[in-house]
C-alpha cells in the first residue's frame, strides 16, 4: 500500500517503548492518519524484549502489515534482532552514544542520534526516547506541531514536563532533518478526526455506553484492561465495580446483579472462563441476562498469557452441561468490539440469556485509530419484555410463562405481587422445581422447548452475513472473529494480483446462520478457512453447523498474529494443491531463546 509506513519500536519492558509508541500514534492521529498497533511482549514487568509494531497509513488499516520500514531501537538487543527486517527506503533511529549499529540492509539509513549532546548531560534517561521520537517524526515526514500538541495534551497539568519534552523532541527532529534523508515515502495528512483506542477499552466503553452498571472481574491477561477501565471510570459513570476472589465468584455475582434488572458484565480469559462455565448454565436455565467476555490468549492451561490465539471456540460452545441457550459473538475488529456491546446487552435482555463474547489478545491489547464520530454514538437500548411497575392488583404472575416466542415477561425483584424463586433445578412456569417430583416428562419437555424457542428469535434478528469481494469468485476465504482484518487485506491483494477470491467473515457463532452461510458457500470450488489455532476449531464448527467441509485450511498457532503476506502466500499454496498450510512468523526478531541455565523463573510477570 502506498502512503503507509510500518514502524517498529523495540526495547526491554520498562524502557518506555509503549509510551513512545502511544505518542507516535497520537501524533499520527492528529494528522488524520490511521494507525494499527500490536505489541509482542513477554510476560515480564521488566526486562525481556518488547516489540511494538505500528502501521501508519492515510488509508484504512486492519492489521499489523508485513514489513517494518522505520525503527526506533531503544537498546542494543532491538538493533541486533530487527535491523535486517527493515525495508529499503527506511530508517533506523537509535541513541548513538549507547547502541552500536549493525550492518544496514540495502537502502536503509542508519540514523544515530547524539543524545547526550542534544538532550544535555543531566537529562533523564527516558529523554532518549523523546529525542528519538522527535527524530523519527521528522524522518517520517510528520509535522512537529502534531507531536508537540500531543505533549501539551498528555501533560496538561505539568507545564514543566511539556516544555522539557518539546525541547528534547525538537532537538531530535531538527537534528534528524538536517543530518538524514526523510523516508522514501513520507506520510501526509488527512482531515479525519481520529481517536486512538485499545480493544479492551472499546469493550468497556461500549459496555458503559450500553448501560452496564455492574462489572465484576478477577485479573487475568489479556482481559485485565477491561477491569482497569471500569475501575478507573466506575465512580464517574455510576458503575459498581468489584474485584472478586475468583472467576467462579465473578460469574455468580454478575448473574445475581443481572437477575435484579441491572445490566451486568464480566470479562476474563480462557482459564477464568473455565471456572465460570457452571454459572453460565445457571444464567441459561434461570433466564438471566448477562454479558461475559472471554479475551482469548494462547492455551491450553496457562499457555501463552501474552500471545494471540483463537483457540477457545470449543470451550465457549461447550461452556455448560446440558442444552443451554446462549449467544456467542466474536467481534471482528477493535471498532467492532465497541458496537458489539450494544447488540450483546440487547440480545441478553430481550432473550434473557447469557451472551458470550469471544475477543482475543490481538484486538484487546492492540490499538487502532477510529473516527471520533464513531465513538460518539448513542446506543440503542432494547430491554425486551420487562415489568417495572405493579398495578396494585393481586395476580398470578408466572415468571417462566410458556409463550410462543419463549420469552417470558420478566418482573424485577422488589415489585409487589410478582414474587418468584428462580432455580437452577428444572422448574415449571411458576418457578416451582420439578426436579424432585416422581416423574414429569411432559413438563420437562415443555420448558426445554420454551427456552430453546428463544434461539429462533435471536437467529432471526442477527445481521445477515455477506461475501466481500467478487461475488462470482469460486474461491472463498472464511474466517471468524478478529482474523477478519488480515484476511480482508489478503483478499484485496490476491484480487489485485489476478487471483479471484472473496471473503466470508463470521461474527455470530451461536446461533449459527446456517441457512445464509450455506447459501453463500454452496457452489464454491475452494473454501479455505483461515484461523488462529492448531485444531481447526472454526472449520469444525462450520462443518457441524452446515455440513460443509472446507477444502483447505490455513492455520497459525505460534502466538504471533497473521500478517497479510502469510495469508496471501498460504492461499497461493492452497491453490497449488495443498490442503493444510500451517504458518509461522519466521523472522529472527520474533524469537527470544530461553535464557541459559536450568529452571529459570520469571519473578515478576503479567499472567
Partner 1 sequence: MSTATLVAREAKQYKPEVPPDWCPGCGDYGVLTVLQRAVAELGIPNEKLMVVSGIGCSSNLPGFFKSYGMHSLHGRSLPVATGTKMANHEMTVIACGGDGDGFGIGQGHFIHSMRRNVNMTYIVMDNEIYGLTTGQTSPTSEKGMKTKSTPNGNPEGQLNPIALALAAGCGFVARGFSGDINHLKSLYTQAIQYPGFAFIDVFSPCVTFNKQNTFGWFKERVYKLEEKGHNPGDWASGMERSKEWGTQIPIGVFYKNPTPQPSIDAEDPALQGKGLATIQNLGLTKDQRKKLIEEYI
Positions in 316-375 near partner 1 (CB under 8 A): 372, 375
Task: Print the binding letters for residues 146-185 with partner 1: x by CB under 8 A, - otherwise.
Answer: -------x--------------------------------
Q: Coil, helix or strand for 464?
A: coil
Residue 557, classed as helix, strand or coil, is coil
C-beta closer to partner 1: residue 347 or 480: 347
Collapsed DSSP state (helix, strand, coil) of residue 527: strand
The candidate with the shortest Cα–Cα distance to 328, out of 513, 532, 519, is 513
Cβ-Cβ contacts under 8 Å for 130 (sequence gap 6 or more): 20, 119, 165, 168, 169, 172
List 177, 189, 233, 500, residue binding partner 1 (CB under 8 A): 233
Say which residue the cell 491489547 belongs to: 365
C-beta of 373 vs 584, nearer to partner 1: 373
Site string for partner 1, 30-69 (x = CB under 8 A): x---------------------------------------
User: Which parts of 483-542 interact with partner 1 (CB under 8 A)?
Assistant: none
47's enclosing H/E stretch is: strand 47-57
Q: Read out DSSP for 431-442?
A: S-B-TTSS--HH
Least Å from the CB of residue 421 to partner 1: 4
Q: Least distance from C-beta 212 to partner 1, angstroms?
A: 9
Question: Among 64, 264, 267, 529, which residue interacts with partner 1 (rule: CB under 8 A)?
Answer: 264
Query: CB-based burial of residue 107 (10 Å sphere; 0-12 exposed, 13-18 middle, 19+ buried)?
Result: exposed
Which of 44, 227, 286, 313 binds partner 1 (CB under 8 A)? It is 286
DSSP single-letter state for residue 565 = H
Region 389-428 residues binding partner 1, contact defined as CB under 8 A: 412-425
Site size toward partner 1 (CB under 8 A) is 76
Binding-site string for partner 1 from residue 436 to residue 465, where x marks contact by CB under 8 A and - marks none: x-----------------------------
Q: Are 194 and 29 in contact (CB under 8 A)?
A: yes
Asked if residues 526 and 570 have their Cβ atoms less than 8 Å apart, the reply is no
Question: Between residue 103 and residue 142, which ones bind partner 1 under the rule CB under 8 A?
Answer: none
CA-CA distances (angstroms) from residue 100 to 115, 308, 520? 14, 32, 56
Binding map of partner 1 across residues 182-221, x = CB under 8 A, - = no contact: -----------xxxxx---x---x--xxxx-xx-x-----
Number of other CB atoms surrounding residue 579 within 10 Å: 12
- Can residue 145 be called a binding residue for partner 1 (CB under 8 A)? no
CA 532/CA 536 separation, integer angstroms: 8
Closest distance of CB 134 from partner 1, Å: 20
Binding residue (CB under 8 A) for partner 1 from 6, 13, 28, 29: 29
Q: Using CB under 8 A, which residues numbered 234 to 263 contact partner 1? A: 234-242, 244-246, 248-250, 252-263
Nearer to partner 1, 28 or 71 (CB): 28
**Shortest spacing between CB 240 and partner 1, in angstroms:** 4
- Judge whether 102 and 86 are in contact, CB under 8 Å: no
| Shortest distance in whole angstroms from residue 293 CB to partner 1 | 17
At its nearest, how many Å lie between partner 1 and the CB of residue 36? 15
Nearer to partner 1 by Cβ, of 120 and 414: the residue is 414
**Does residue 27 bind partner 1 (CB under 8 A)?**
no
Look at the block and give the residue holding cell 502534531: 146
Q: Which is nearer to partner 1, 106 or 436 (CB)?
A: 436
**Cα 25 to Cα 197: distance, rounded to the nearest angstrom:** 10
Q: Which triple of cell numbers denotes residue 597?
A: 541455565
29 or 166, CB closer to partner 1? 29
Which parts of 562-601 interact with partner 1 (CB under 8 A)?
none
Smallest gap, in angstroms, from Cβ of residue 371 to partner 1?
10
In the complex, least distance from residue 308 CB atom to partner 1, rounded to whole angstroms: 23
d(CA 250, CA 272): 9
Could you tell me the smallest distance in angstroms from the CB atom of residue 586 to partner 1?
35
Task: In whole angstroms, give the CA distance from residue 517 to residue 575.
Answer: 22
Backbone angles phi, psi at 467, to 5 degrees: -95, 135
Return d(Cα 289, Cα 345) in angstroms, integer. Answer: 8
In the complex with partner 1, the residue whose CB is nearer, 221 or 252, is: 252
| Neighbour order of strands in the sheet with 467-468 | 467-468, 502-506, 475-480, 526-531, 552-556, 580-583
Amino acid at each position: 500500500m502506498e502512503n503507509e509506513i510500518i514502524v517498529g519500536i523495540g526495547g526491554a519492558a520498562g524502557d518506555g517503548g509503549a509510551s513512545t509508541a502511544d505518542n507516535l500514534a497520537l501524533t499520527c492521529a492528529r494528522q488524520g492518519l490511521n494507525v494499527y498497533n500490536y505489541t509482542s511482549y513477554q510476560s515480564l514487568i521488566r526486562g525481556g524484549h518488547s516489540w511494538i509494531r505500528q502501521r501508519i497509513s492515510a488509508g484504512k488499516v486492519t492489521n499489523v502489515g508485513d514489513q517494518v520500514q522505520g525503527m526506533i531501537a531503544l537498546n542494543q538487543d532491538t538493533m541486533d534482532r530487527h535491523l535486517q527486517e527493515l525495508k529499503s527506503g527506511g530508517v533506523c533511529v537509535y541513541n548513538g552514544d549507547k547502541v552500536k549499529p549493525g550492518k544496514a540492509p540495502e537502502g536503509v539509513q542508519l540514523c544515530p542520534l547524539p543524545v547526550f549532546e542534544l538532550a544535555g548531560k543531566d537529562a533523564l534517561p527516558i529523554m532518549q526516547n523523546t529525542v528519538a521520537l522527535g527524530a523519527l517524526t521528522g524522518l517520517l515526514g510528520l509535522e512537529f506541531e502534531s507531536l508537540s500538541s500531543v505533549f501539551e495534551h498528555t501533560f496538561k497539568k505539568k507545564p514543566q514536563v511539556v516544555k522539557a519534552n518539546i525541547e528534547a523532541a525538537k532537538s531530535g527532529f531538527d537534528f534528524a532533518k538536517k543530518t538524514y534523508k526523510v523516508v522514501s515515502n513520507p506520510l501526509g495528512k488527512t482531515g479525519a478526526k481520529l481517536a486512538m483506542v485499545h480493544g479492551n477499552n472499546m469493550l468497556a466503553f461500549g459496555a458503559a455506553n450500553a448501560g452496564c452498571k455492574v462489572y465484576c472481574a478477577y485479573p487475568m491477561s489479556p482481559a485485565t484492561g477491561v477491569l482497569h477501565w471500569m475501575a478507573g471510570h466506575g465512580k464517574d459513570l455510576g458503575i459498581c465495580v468489584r474485584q472478586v476472589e475468583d472467576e467462579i465468584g465473578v460469574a455468580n455475582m454478575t448473574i445475581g446483579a443481572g437477575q435484579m434488572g441491572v445490566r451486568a458484565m464480566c470479562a476474563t480469559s480462557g482459564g477464568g472462563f473455565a471456572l465460570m462455565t457452571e454459572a453460565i448454565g445457571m444464567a441459561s436455565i434461570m433466564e438471566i441476562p448477562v454479558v461475559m467476555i472471554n479475551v482469548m490468549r494462547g492455551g491450553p492451561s496457562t499457555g501463552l498469557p501474552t500471545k494471540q490465539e483463537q483457540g477457545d471456540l470449543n470451550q465457549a460452545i461447550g461452556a455448560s452441561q446440558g442444552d443451554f441457550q446462549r449467544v456467542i459473538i466474536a467481534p471482528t475488529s477493535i471498532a467492532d468490539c465497541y458496537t458489539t456491546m450494544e447488540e450483546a446487552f440487547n440480545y441478553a435482555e430481550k432473550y434473557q440469556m447469557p451472551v458470550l463474547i469471544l475477543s482475543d489478545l490481538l484486538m484487546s491489547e492492540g490499538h487502532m485509530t477510529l473516527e471520533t464520530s464513531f465513538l460518539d454514538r448513542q446506543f440503542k437500548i432494547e430491554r425486551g419484555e420487562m415489568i417495572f411497575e405493579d398495578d396494585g392488583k393481586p395476580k398470578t404472575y408466572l415468571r417462566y410463562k410458556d409463550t410462543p416466542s419463549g420469552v417470558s415477561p420478566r418482573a424485577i425483584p422488589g415489585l409487589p405481587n410478582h414474587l418468584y424463586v428462580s432455580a437452577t433445578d428444572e422448574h415449571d412456569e411458576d418457578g416451582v422445581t420439578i426436579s424432585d417430583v416422581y416423574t414429569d416428562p411432559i413438563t420437562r419437555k415443555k420448558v426445554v422447548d420454551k427456552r430453546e424457542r428463544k434461539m429462533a428469535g435471536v437467529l432471526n434478528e442477527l445481521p445477515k452475513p455477506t461475501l466481500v469481494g467478487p461475488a462470482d469468485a469460486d474461491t472463498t476465504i472464511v474466517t471468524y472473529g478478529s482474523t477478519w482484518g488480515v484476511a480482508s487485506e489478503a483478499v484485496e491483494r490476491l484480487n489485485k494480483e489476478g487471483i479471484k477470491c472473496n471473503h466470508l467473515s463470521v461474527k455470530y457463532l451461536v446461533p449459527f446462520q446456517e441457512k445464509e452461510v450455506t447459501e453463500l458457500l454452496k457452489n464454491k470450488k475452494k473454501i479455505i478457512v483461515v484461523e488462529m489455532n492448531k485444531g481447526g476449531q472454526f472449520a469444525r464448527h462450520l462443518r457441524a453447523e452446515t455440513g460443509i467441509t472446507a477444502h483447505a485450511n490455513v492455520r497459525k498457532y505460534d502466538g504471533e498474529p497473521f500478517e497479510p503476506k502469510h495469508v496471501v502466500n498460504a492461499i497461493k499454496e492452497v491453490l497449488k494443491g495443498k490442503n493444510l498450510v500451517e504458518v509461522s512468523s519466521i523472522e529472527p526478531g520474533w524469537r527470544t531463546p530461553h535464557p541459559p541455565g536450568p529452571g529459570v523463573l520469571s519473578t515478576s510477570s503479567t499472567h
